[in-house]
Structure 1
């Protein structure tokens, strides 16, 4: 029997769609056909069904947070089934063990490889014959083609090795540094958990570094000399090249120019050509959609993943901006399909041989994001989905258009011996910009876009000189979209639109970057207001402690990412990397303890900690902590255990999936009872549902009434 293991229910349904099939409660049966003469059974995960074991699963001593039990370094790592998903795992396990051949059909990427292979291992089915479906598009034709050309499991195993090495490294660094920094901060009177990580902490330091540059910046007033020239009744503006920080100096030079004749010394006109933009990787799409619509990177990923699962675009978690010849062959058909919704010129150039777009050497795991031949109508998508689809579609259309061409004229006008520069621009051929005609012109381009009158070299013109006052501007704080590029380049200032040279050298991966930003927000290290990112007092406190350590350095993390990328390419082994991670965890713990005496806690954070302590002590406990037995009290933003300073990390949220968790329900949970029925929870995909809550092993789980149908995607509502 062939068993196909998908990553999610929606993906399973899509994979079954080209075949005659029967949908059952927890599986889909494909009828015998040419590709599956004996038929096939599709089962699915719900995202991750297994996770790395908690420290106490290795040694009971590691359950409590104590400095003398650090570092936490297991000899061998273990995985465990996620408790809330245990029944579903059991069903998948039973089906996998009946299989003759298992076809891994999770997302074609490192994380998908990790999800599937860990499930197969935990199910005891590793010795089965295993094949890999690698499908970058979920259209019916692409699915059939991928099933007809299954890959060997060994071909994609390096992706699993990379994902496993990344998971172990993140676990070692995250567990150890979070514990040591939290415990050391508690010794200084802080009451919050200071979660840290191999990727999130360097990013936080980069954000804070920009803020410090802004804070150190001293604004200065400057003066420039401008001239308005009159050429036979038509005027144009020119600027003297020097900027003055002393007004008297500028005024003195201005006086020397007054009343002096002016003439055109030199006119230079060049034809400039601007090539169409590259196709999109996930990073470039996230950055542009944030800049254009202020959509958060995590939201962009969610939307483009939805478009992929509906079969409208190719696989989204790609770091490539190029395609291979195979994909380019489909471009004419895709363009023809797009003509139903877009006004596309008839005579398009072929780009099948254009290495700007078609370059296999610049394609890694997946090619650039492109629309498929399955083109939707605007009314079939949500407003935000259409914005994303529209951008991806226009990027492909624009690639087939001619260059944007304009004449740039530079005029040098002399007032006596002083030279003034004027720049004008005249569009000759709009080219690909016709596809993006509603987009705002870049500010720098707009400034050099004044219309110039007809001029000749040697022509005399009438000058009127004036002073223009300005002030120097500090660096701008990052927007949420700029954080994606910041992570991609590991903080280096790179303007090239083709970021493929940075492959494997940034912070995180295409699939994880938006999640890392979300983590910083959830852990109250950063705030995003009107798309502008700023660090909180808590974030500043952590940065001050880690800024000069290895944990805070983006360049080291970027080098580690490069090594991980090499593991995924089968070029380097994973074992040495894991051993280095263990050594790093030991070093980071010892380094934090050594430096702790020099940490300075900001006054604002000390006040918050003291106020929290007084408030907690004065309250009556709502119940006993299920982890340590001490009292649980209401804090400013959550319900927390009195045993916080001795290492207990039990908390309950005040708000859960859009609903407030009141004291009465908290009391019920802490007494071992179910909460009352809470109506109006909203899953991550926006689906409303009702449920009761209860505590199992210190974690909130949902309880549904018999008549209540739970959301179809339970990973949308599970509590991590």
Structure 2
């Protein structure tokens, strides 16, 4: 009998679906059948059940963060059971240790993390039985059956396990050492909880260069100097037809001074004009490619303001219900095998009302189209596409419908002919002065019947039609106007744009650029949204009107690491390159970990050497200004929010020691009440202070000059 270990409960249900089975508490029993002659027991993890032991749990002297204990070089990594996952591990272990079980099938997601989650649980259970690997990128019954009928020997995917282990060990080494050394050194410069920071300056080989990308973009915006420019727009009359043209020279269409524009304006006003060139060109626009996870996350964020994390969660649900293929893919292509299923998928999708008419109009087969079917661009996973299992749309949530619709339309559109446009360019001369007019007209709808190539509204898609004019026609300048504008800086990233910037980072060094391209950018496709969420949790970024803004804490960290490998995409690019070699069996995980130890030593050494040059006073002042609550009762300076308490911002300059805890008899004095106390001397009535008995009271000054407080009780009305 075989034991099958899935990654999640929903995945386990999908794996059992093609076979007669019954759920028995914490596992599923599959009846004997052709695939499982003796039956099978199917159990599941709940994501990661184990984590690497903390440094202080291996060495008690490391519990207190101190510079003289760095670098921490761990030679024997140990794992511990995550406490809240103990019940799940017990259930898995009971199945694995069942004497009827002679072989184990690892059935995690088809990737290195899925490999690690399941194999680690099996190893930690102490069970040593023959193992096979289930590898499927779709959880439809047909795909599941095919995968079970073609199980891989565990040796085939074992390198992925070593890759995942090496990645987790190395990230642990770098993250632990970098976070400790930078936290301690930055705090030694006066940046700590009292100045509004959350204390720890967490670092990592992916999160730190991404944080640097956000900070660097913000600095570009801050340092940008806007300059005015001027453009000339002329309106022409040609034998009864009117159209506009923009004055154009070799350097473009803009003047740097209004005076220059006025000179040309005067020279053209009311003068004869002639059409010197008329160019009409027909261009075909191919249907968009299929989606990878990143392109889906970017589009959903742009179109629906959906966070990348939420998009991945929705995709995971659709995948677990077998409606779409494996979501954590970095490819926009499929192999010939997947393409063979397209006719059946389209046939099944035809049953859904929004798509039936569109599929009726399918114009071609794409089985030989390299834009979509190209095995050379498929590594572990192919593009995210719909499966032959079609949902009932009424059973999907609104967000699930939105994401499913994008995926379905990308497949349908690929089966349509290109859209065709007519591009017209008119060159109108007024003496020696040249004006250019451009227009576009849709000639053939093609795939645009299914979807648009941008998020613009339909009525904005096409430029206005140009009049029917001819080359060498003569006319007059009806008017010439000057339009004034200002240069503008780049915008902050949206979360979707940041995902794409991680996938395609721009670096000046051509060699590093090649490395990053070979590994599909910074970080894994599946973890980029987690990196963004992690940066939020660490108080490095905030989302303002759907755009990513760095905090003062982020500026401090990037100032500190800017001249080190931690701030550069190069480290994570070369890291991923080597990890992929480990995953293919072409490199040693042991050697990689040893190199990571040396890198951890270098990170600590570099930080200690550079710390003397750091100065964060301006950031500290800004953070304190942001946390301003009101005037200090003792010295008049600003009282700021310092986390667990309120305190005077002049504690250094004026040596003012005013502080007040936020918690008072188990009640929180919120910012609104603290403002009232500082500005008016009295809070609102606060209910349920915890004394011998609960009571309601105002907080007022007992001695304002000393900064001491007392309670004032609400006066009861005297009944007459």
Quickly name the TM-score band, shorter chain normalised: 0.7 to 0.9
Aligned to 2:133: 132
Aligned to 1:123: 125
Tell me how far 1:492 sits from its aligned partner.
4.9
Pair 1:490 & 2:521 matched: no
Q: How high is the TM-score relative to the length of structure 1?
A: 0.83
Partner in structure 2 of residue 214 of structure 1: 221
Identify the residue that residue 626 of structure 1 maps to in structure 2. none
Matches within 5 A, 1:179-194: 179-189=180-190, 190-191=192-193, 192-194=199-201
TM-superposed deviation, 1:456: 1.0
Q: In structure 1, what is the Cα distance between the partners aligned to 2:563 and 2:670?
A: 32
Structure 1 residue ranges (4+ consecutive) displaced by more than 6 angstroms after TM superposition: 620-623, 632-637
1:165 maps to what in 2?
166
1:381 matched to which residue of 2?
A: 396
1:418 deviates by 1.1
| Inter-partner Cα distance in structure 2 for 1:311 and 1:572 | 35
What is the distance in 1 between the residues matched to 2:493 and 2:499?
Answer: 10
Alignment of structure 1 residues 34-433 onto 2, 5 Å? 34-98=34-98, 99-125=101-127, 127-189=128-190, 190-191=192-193, 192-241=199-248, 242-341=253-352, 342=355, 343-344=357-358, 345-433=360-448
Aligned 8 A contact 1:320 1:500 in 2: no
Query: How many Å separate the matches in 1 of 2:86 and 2:61?
Result: 26
SS in 2 for 1:29: strand
Where structure 1 has 5 or more consecutive residues not aligned to the other structure, the ranges are 494-498, 624-631, 638-661, 665-720
**TM-aligned CA distance change 1:580 to 1:517, over 3 Å:** same
In structure 2, which of residues 458, 476, 479 is the aligned counterpart of residue 462 of structure 1?
476
Deviations 1:259-314 (A, max 9, x none): 33101001111110110011010001001111111100000000010000011000
Q: 2: CA distance between counterparts of 1:70 and 1:633?
A: 40
In the alignment, the residues of structure 2 paired with residue 380 and residue 302 of structure 1 have an alpha-carbon distance, to the nearest angstrom, of 17
Mean Cα displacement is larger for which, 379-388 or 153-162? 153-162
Aligned match of 2:674:
none
Alpha-carbon distance in 2 for matches of 1:582, 1:501: 23
For residues 587-666 of structure 1, what are the structure 2 equivalents within 5 Å? Answer: 587-601=602-616, 602=619, 603-605=621-623, 612=642, 615=646, 618=659
- 8 A Cα contact 1:505 1:562, kept in partner: no
SS at structure 1 position matched to 2:646: helix
What secondary structure does 2:25 align onto?
coil
Distance 1:371 1:472 in 2: 44
Deviation string, structure 1 residues 659-691 (Cα, Å, up to 9, x no partner) = xxx998xxxxxxxxxxxxxxxxxxxxxxxxxxx
Q: How far, CA to CA, are the matches of 2:152 and 2:613 in structure 1?
A: 55
CA RMSD, 1 decimal: 2.6
3-state secondary structure, aligned to 2:177? helix
Q: Which runs of 5+ in 2 are unaligned?
A: 194-198, 509-513, 628-638, 648-657, 672-687, 691-720
SS of 1:376's equivalent in the other structure is: coil
- Relative to structure 1, the CA distance from residue 181 to residue 442 in structure 2 (aligned partners, 3 Å threshold; closer, same or farther) is farther
Identify the range of structure 1 (184-193 vs 333-342) with the bigger mean alpha-carbon deviation: 184-193
Residues 373-414 of structure 1 show CA distances to partners (whole Å, capped at 9, x for unaligned) of: 111132110000000000000000000000010111111111
The corresponding residue for 1:539 is 554
**SS class of match (1:238):** strand
Deviation at 1:580, TM superposition (A): 1.7
Distance in 2, matches of 1:586 and 1:500, equals 24
Cα pair distance change 1:557/1:51, threshold 3 Å: same
- Partners of 2:319 and 2:573 in 1: CA distance: 29
Instruction: Render the CA deviation track for 1:632-667: whole Å, top value 9, x for unaligned.
Output: 998999xxxxxxxxxxxxxxxxxxxxxxxx998xxx
Q: Distance in 2 between matches of 1:636 and 1:574?
A: 52
C-alpha distance in structure 2 between counterparts of 1:452 and 1:500, whole Å: 47
Q: C-alpha displacement at 1:231, in angstroms?
A: 2.2
- Partner of 1:648 in structure 2? none
Equivalent position of 1:517 in the other structure: 532
Q: Distance in 2 between matches of 1:542 and 1:475?
A: 23
Q: Give the 5 Å matches for 1:469-484.
A: 469-484=484-499
Rounded Cα–Cα distance in structure 1 between residues aligned with 2:519 and 2:73 = 27
Alignment partner, residue 15 of structure 2: 15
Contact 1:319 1:503 (C-alpha < 8 Å) held by counterparts: no
The residue number in structure 2 matching 1:656 is: none
Give the distance between the partners of 1:198 and 1:70, measured in 2 at CA. 18
Cα distance in structure 2, aligned partners of 1:124 and 1:663: 53
Q: Tell me how far apart the structure 2 counterparts of residues 635 and 565 of structure 1 sit (CA, whole Å).
A: 53
- 2-side partners of 1:633 and 1:302: how far apart? 37
8 Å contact 1:6–1:12 — kept in the other structure? yes
CA drift of 1:113 comes to 0.3
Q: Quote how far apart the aligned CAs of 1:621 are.
A: 10
Q: Deviations over 1:303-351 (max 9, x none)?
A: 0100000110001000111001111011011111112221223452000
User: Per the alignment, in what secondary structure is the counterpart of residue 121 of structure 1?
Assistant: helix
SS at match of 2:237: strand
Contact 1:52-1:77 at 8 Å conserved across structures: yes
